[in-house]
A and B are shown apart, each in its own frame.
Chain A
Amino acid sequence: MSVLSPGGAGVPLLELEGVDVSYPRRGQPSVRAVLGASFSVGAGEVVGLVGESGCGKSTLGRAAVGLVAPSAGCVRYQGQPVGPLGHGTRPAALRSLQMVFQDPYASLNPRRRIGRQIADAIRLGTGAVLDDGDATRRVAALLERVGLSANIAHRYPHEFSGGQCQRIAIARVLATEPRCIVADEPISSLDASAQAQVANLLAGIVAGLGLGMLFISHDLSVVQKIAHRTLVMYLGRIVEEGATAPIWAEPAHPYTRALIAAVPRPGARSALPSELAGDVPNPARPPSGCRFHPRCPDAVERCRVEDPPVVAVEPGWGSRCLLSKPRQPAAN
């Protein structure tokens, strides 16, 4: 399906192959939110997923942890298929695949003390039988791991700022002893100084514990800082994938170029960011040919009719554009 190479660092923990996600609609054709997404996340690796709102990046993240069922393709975690969640318990094999959500106030229980919530996660996630003393000690260690003080365990979520709540939510995820984390916009609802704190915390956890992480964000500059590899998504399709630094330096896909050019750079004399004309089309009525062609500054006639295949720009670096060409490997 795809020549985008699976596996970055080490053995893939999470693998998606040709994943389609459709949302059915009554009396109308279903909306295909994700089309043929293939990628993998290895241990110790941060994979960034970027794109505009409505491009399907959250849907893809939810499919990766089994919160929505793919209509085609498959998701595997440590070789086990990831199916949609039923009403029963999550299979033990999938408990070390966890998710961090965007809004920590919504993901924490407002009426339960945070220490209790973290202790619940230890019991349910690892099956450990804890007495009160064990629970207190483990909760304290987890709170300190995310940079909070251990003596706040008796408090409720509303007593904390957004950044602190997100740390608590991350502590609760760590309580399950995860091996792979899908983080969906984990910093975008936080204050400026908290954003860098939480991004560094997540990157530090991945590096320190050797976890894999899919980091979904619309903030390209954060992804550039913490992701080893980057996936760029447009209208349900992954249009570019590769190691972060080269993509950032010399993006192959015109959409990636436009996204990077639109990021305002803080500094003494910043130029106005470049505008990408038009809006993301309605995913229920995607354009013919290349889905990006109506907004693409480089589009040629055949972009209107041909659905572009993935071009291997370099080994491990793919671009879904008819105009992309393999590059000569660098001479060093």
Chain B
Amino acid sequence: MSDVPVLEVDNLVVALRTARGMRRAVNGVSFSIGPGEILGVAGESGSGKTITALSILGLLPLGARATGGVRFQGRQLLGLSRRQLRRVRGKEVALVSQDPATSLHPLLRIEVQMTEHVRAHLGFSREQARRRAIEMLEAVRIPDPEAALLAHPHQFSGGMRQRIAIAMALACEPQLLVADEPTTALDVTVQAGILRLLDRLRRERGVSVMIITHDLGVMSTVSDRICILYGGRVAEYGTTGEVLGRPRHPYTDGLMRSLPGAAGVGAAMVPIQGAPPGLDNMPAGCSFHPRCEYALESCRTSVPVLRTVEHGRRLACDVDPLRGERGQPVGPAEVAQV
């Protein structure tokens, strides 16, 4: 499916300014997204998933330092000036955020919010932009789009607002949609509609999507490939069927077993003990080792190398829970030391 990747993230390192100095929130993350592909990025709070997304959009908090490669259609986005970024952001790469109540301006009519960036980026006239907005609202199945343009956000339900936010993100026909927990605030029934919508958009319009979620159920229904983040690093990466069907990282395995829907009927949820680490208490060695039931002595000190274990599948673990064997590192070390 992937010819030339739409997005290539290569050894991304992002350091954030905290009260105790610079801390690495993202520590050598690499992945790519092909045309029309949906990549799921999963992780708990502190895993670096949102910071990764923000660095793609050039929206990192003040004082953050990002190094590595974020190439969009071959073009390096890191280090672009604000002016140059502004031409990409919203036009070629668009963001759908978690909370539609805050991503829409409460005081402006939908029409204003849906046409402003179209006119600025594409040079459309007011009438052209209005027609585009109506077309996009139809694409996300908002009933009576003409009336919707005249309404304010509070007149819509949460699910409708998220559809409008997606329509707004799509209005300039971006090649890449970055969706940060797009359904977390929504009911399952509404969530199902949004997931079907994302799947339809990629099939009909060839949009690539990076969907960030902590919900592996959501992920398994729409993603082609999955990237599991833990402690700012990639723990496991591969096709959805492989990673969720046969998890090889103890963290992925633990997440699957802790889900109520994954185990069979009547099987107990087996939670992972402990809590994910924060920036200030990142463990040495493998950052998952304090919570890992397979951890070896060496896991306390050596950072596992992200290595290719099967075709298109990468794993950063020195203990393979599936095989119980230790693998050989493949390729150059991609993971930087703390």
Q: Which residues of A are in contact with B by a Cβ distance under 8 Å?
A: 52-53, 161-164, 191-197, 199-200, 218-222, 224-225, 245, 248, 258-259, 261-276, 279-280
Contacts and interface: CB of A to CB of B under 8 A. Distances in A.
Given A258-B189, A267-B245, A273-B191, 19 more contacts: A161-B45, A191-B276, A192-B214, A192-B215, A193-B276, A196-B269, A199-B269, A219-B188, A248-B265, A262-B189, A262-B191, A264-B215, A266-B220, A268-B220, A269-B241, A270-B220, A272-B221, A273-B196, A273-B221
Interface of B: 44-45, 157-160, 187-193, 195-196, 199, 214-222, 240-242, 244-246, 254-256, 258-262, 265, 268-276
Contact of B275 (A191, A248, A264): A191
B186 to A, nearest CB: 8
A161 B188 contact: no
Contact of A264 (B190, B217, B260): B217
Contacts of A53: 158, 187
Contacts of A273: 188, 191-192, 195-196, 221
A192 B189 contact: no
A262 B244 CA distance: 20
A224 B256 CA distance: 17
Nearest to B272: A193
A266 B258 contact: no
A105 B274 CA distance: 19
B19 to A, nearest CB: 13
A161 B275 contact: yes
B188 A279 contact: no
B192 A192 contact: no
A52 B192 contact: no
A200 B260 CA distance: 11
B270 A196 contact: yes
B192 A266 contact: no
Instruction: Give the interface centre of B189, B195, B269 by most chain A CB atoms within 10 Å.
Output: B189
B241 A268 contact: yes
A271 B255 contact: no
Nearest to A223: B260
A319 to B, nearest CB: 19
B292 to A, nearest CB: 12
A264 B214 contact: no
